[in-house]
Amino acid sequence: MTDARRSNLPPLSLHVPEPRFRPGDEVDFGDIAVPPAGAARRPDTADPASSFHELAYSLVRVLDDEGRAVGPWDPRLSPDTLRAMLRDMALTRAFDERMFRAQRQGKTSFYMKSTGEEAVAVAAAHALASDDMCFPSYRQQGILIARGHPLAGLMNQIYSNKGDTLKGRQLPIMYSARDYGFFSISGNLTTQYPQAVGWAMASAAKGDSRIAATWCGEGSTAEGDFHSALTFATVYRAPVIFNVVNNQWAISSFSGFAGAEATTFAARAIGYGIAGLRVDGNDPLAVHAATQWAAERARTNQGPTLIEHFTYRAEGHSTSDDPSAYRSAQEYSHWPLGDPVVRLKQHLIAIGEWDAERHAAMDLECAERVKAAQKEAEKNGILGHGMHQPFETMFEGVFEEMPWHLKEQCQQMIDERKAAGI
């Protein structure tokens, strides 16, 4: 029975987030506030997190519309470093294109491209030390490419062939490369966040100098693991960098379902009392500068930093996704922050360290390098062309010493397969 004192109030209702543009809609991103490059102040890395809350709501940008690096966040990188970052982003894009086609050709079951988000991984990798431990999500293949992992080795994992060091036990693109400071990717959302905090805490407890960095999509910030990780990192001042890749879309739901309509994702840092930055994720220099700044804070015991990379997912969530079913086809071409590869190319040309001819030659070289790596990897087989690993290896690698009951099961399966002529 309704209380008479509330009889004049409207009935309660739920707000259900709705994306601004659906298939066929005209796109206008005019409501996105894009501050001028160089406008955000750069605090000292020793400043308390409470003294620069505005950086969680603005946008750290370095490259302006003419390709010039401006403002206090300019990392002042050498031309050689800039060219290396450009090459790694171009190589990542070429790798993505070829592996996407390989999936469409039936050579593997699954692939995820990082088109438009290459700077988030590559520029960060260049800013971190080579022995810092990365706890990635499933769209940071650029870290491994920037750290020099053999391309054929990545393809072996994608094909689950006999050259796959993970022996076919992981979904394609869920790499694990300890020697390259790359923790095993998990399909379960955000499990890498508390793992990164634990690793960082262990590094600090041992008096080491290495830090951890971890990545997740903006949708994953709604997971409990995200908040558990931030709580531990806050309490123990763990030397860890939290990267939230806000590319506007999860597999088929937009960022509003993770709370984007209420505030920025970088603002989550404020509630935990840690440093928070919101960065132009399509500006490689801004990503590098923010990562370098956060790494210095971590190494000097100033605690964790949360960086929101404001970017856009140009392609589908994966090869299993059709974005044309839920968003306007115009969105990426109208995205106001441009393309990270193009922007770094324009910057190098603007400072007289690059030109269109060298860029075209680099793209061709990257394409040929990826093509050669694919040929090498496919000598080890492709998915669906029989079993590439010895059958009994499915029982290995779980325990240091295989317990008796698994030995019995393994032998039983071997005997049954022999009896069946397999």
DSSP code for 377: H
Both tokens of 353, joined, read 């360290």
Q: Which of 326, 334, 359, 369 is catalytic?
A: 326
Q: Which of 268, 278, 317, 388 is catalytic?
A: 317
Give the count of alpha carbons within 13 A of 30, CB side only.
3
Q: Is 326 a catalytic residue?
A: yes
Answer yes or no: are the C-beta atoms of 151 and 103 closer than 8 Å: no
R_g (Cα) of the chain, nearest Å: 23
* Beta carbons within 10 angstroms of residue 52's beta carbon: 18
Amino acid present at 171: L
Q: Is 317 a catalytic residue?
A: yes
> How many residues in total does the chain contain?
422
Amino acid present at 363: D
Which is nearest to 341 in space by CA: 58, 67, 33?
Answer: 67
Residue 76 region, left (φ>0) first, then alpha (ψ -120 to 50), else beta? left
Q: Is 313 a catalytic residue?
A: yes
Q: Which of 297, 309, 313, 343 is catalytic?
A: 313
Which is nearest to 137 in space by CA: 223, 196, 216?
Answer: 216
DSSP lists the bridge partners of residue 335 as none
Catalytically active residues, by annotation: 313, 317, 326
